[in-house]
Amino acid sequence: MTDISIPPLDRALEPALRKLIDEKAKPVGSLGRLEDLAVKIGLTRGELKPKLGPAVSVIFAGDHGLTEEGVSSHPPEVTAAMVGNFIGGGAAISAFTRLAGATLTVVDAGVRFPVADGPGLISARIAEGTRNAAREPAMTPAQCEAALAKGIELAREAVADGADILAPGEMGIGNTASASLITHRLAPAPLDDVIGRGAGLDNDGLERKRAALAKAAARSDATAPMDVLAEFGGFEIVMMCGFMLGGAAENRIVVVDGFIACAAALAACRIAPAARERMVFAHRSIEPGARAILDTLEGDPLLDLDMRLGEGSGAALAIPLVRAAAAILTDIADYPR
C-alpha cells in the first residue's frame, strides 16, 4: 500500500494558544467555535501565530459504472460538461473560489467522455470511469493504489507551491451512490440509512438506487478501507482521499466539503486516523450519508445551509472562516488584563 505516515498532533502548544486567545481584546470565549478553530490551526501548523498562505480548491472528476443501474437522474455526459464549466469559470465553485481568493484546479481522475483542455486542468485519469460496482469491483487494487498515490502527490505539489489551506471537491455523476456504499461499510451504518436523492431523484429513481446499492453491497463483504474503495469507490473519491491524506501529512488545514468529500475523509481517517485532527468540516449537507459520517467522525461543521451541490462549494464558502479564525491569533490586539 502507498506509504503515508501521519502522526498525532503535538498538543503541547494548546495551553499557550488558549492563553493567547483569552488575552485578545474581546471578552473571553466571545468568538465561540472560531476560537477552537484557531487552536486547531495553531496546532496543525505548530505555531502560536500562523500566517496562512494561499488556499487551493482542487476538484476531482470521474465517472461511475454504477450509472448503468439508473442511480442518477443525469446521464454520465454531464460530468465532462461540468468539467468544461469549471474550467470556463461559470460554475458555482468557480464563483465561490474567486470570492474566497482561492485558486481553482480541476483534475480528470477518470472521466468517461472527452474533456476539453484548458487552463487549470490536470489530466490524471486512471481509466475512463469505474466499472459497475453492482456487478463487479469498481476498480482493481492496482488502480485504487494509483489513484490514492496520485492524490497524495497532488497535495504535496500544492503545498510545495505554497498552499496552506486545501479545499478539495468533486464532480461525478453517480458518485452519491458510491459514497453511500463507502459510508455503509466504513462508518459503518445501515445501507438504507445513508442513501439519499443525490442530484434530485424522484421516488421511483430512489427505489432503483436502493435496489442497485443493495445488489452491490451483497456482492462483496469488504470492510478494510482500501478494499472498500476498490469495490465501491470512484477514481475521483479515491484521489480526493489521497489528497486529504497528503495535505494532513504536510500539516495543512484540509477543509472537507459535503457528502462525497465526507466519504473520502472517512476513508482517509480509516487509513490514517490522525488525519482527522487536521480536518475542518465545512458544512452539514442534507444528504443522510453525510450526517452519518459527521456523527461517526464527531464533525461539527462551520455552516448549515441545506446545501447538496458538491463541487467543493461548501468548502470554498468556509475558507474565509478558516482565515478569520487564524486572524484571531495574528491580527487581533492583545488586551492588557
Q: Is the pLDDT of residue 337 over 90?
A: no
Q: How many domains does the chain have?
A: 2
Q: Are 143 and 230 in contact (CB under 8 A)?
A: yes
Q: Are residues 37 and 185 in the same domain?
A: no
Q: In the structure, what pLDDT confidence band is assigned to residue 179 with cuts at 50, 70 and 90?
A: very high
Alpha helices, H only, the chain: 14-22, 33-45, 77-88, 92-100, 141-160, 175-186, 203-219, 225-232, 235-249, 259-271, 288-297, 313-330
Tell me: do 262 and 155 sit in the same domain: yes
Find cell 456482492 and name the residue: 219
84-98 confidence digits (pLDDT tens): 999 999 999 999 999
Q: Please state whether the predicted TM-score (pTM) of the whole model is above 0.85.
A: yes
Q: Are residues 30 and 135 in the same domain?
A: no
- Whether 23 and 116 map to the same domain: the answer is no
Please tell me whether residues 30 and 172 are part of one structural domain.
no
Residues 22 and 93 in one domain: no
Domain coverage including residue 135:
55-322
Q: Are residues 96 and 40 in the same domain?
A: no
In this predicted structure, the answer to whether residue 174 has a pLDDT above a threshold of 70 is yes
Confidence of residue 3 (pLDDT cuts 50, 70, 90): confident
- For residue 2, is pLDDT > 80? no
Specify the pLDDT at position 199: 85
Q: Is residue 123 assigned to a domain?
A: yes
pLDDT reported for residue 146 = 98
Alpha-carbon distance of 233 to 185, in angstroms, equals 11
End-to-end CA distance of the chain: 53
Confidence of residue 116 (pLDDT cuts 50, 70, 90): confident
Specify which residues 58 forms β-bridges with. 105
Catalytic residue set? 311
> Is 162 inside any structural domain?
yes
One domain for residues 66 and 30: no
Query: How much is the average pLDDT of 23-34?
Result: 97
| Signed CA dihedral, 136, 141, 144, 146: sign only | negative
Tell whether 189 is covered by a domain.
yes
In terms of Cα–Cα distance, which of 173, 171, 138 is closest to 67? 173
Shared domain check, 37 and 152:
no
User: Cα–Cα–Cα angle for 331, 332, 335, nearest 5°?
Assistant: 145
Q: Are residues 182 and 263 in the same domain?
A: yes
Q: Can you give the pLDDT at residue 299?
A: 97
Q: Give the per-residue pLDDT at 255.
A: 98
CATH number of the domain that 196 lies in?
A: 3.40.50.10210
Q: What mean pLDDT do residues 277-288 have? A: 98
Residue 290 included in any domain: yes
> Is 77 inside any structural domain?
yes
Instruction: Please check whether residue 337 lies inside any domain of the structure.
Output: no
Q: Calculate what percentage of the chain has a pLDDT beyond 90.
A: 96
Q: Rounded CA gap, 151 and 236, in Å?
A: 9
Q: What is the mean pLDDT of residues 48-68?
A: 98
Do 72 and 86 lie in one domain? The reply is yes
Do residue 33 and residue 61 come from a single domain? no
Residue 282 has pLDDT above 90, yes or no: yes
231-261 burial by CB neighbour count: b if 16+ within 10 A, else e? bbbbbbbbbbbbbbbbbbbbbbbbbbbbbbb
Average pLDDT, the chain: 97
Residues 97-110: tens digit of each pLDDT? 999 999 999 999 99
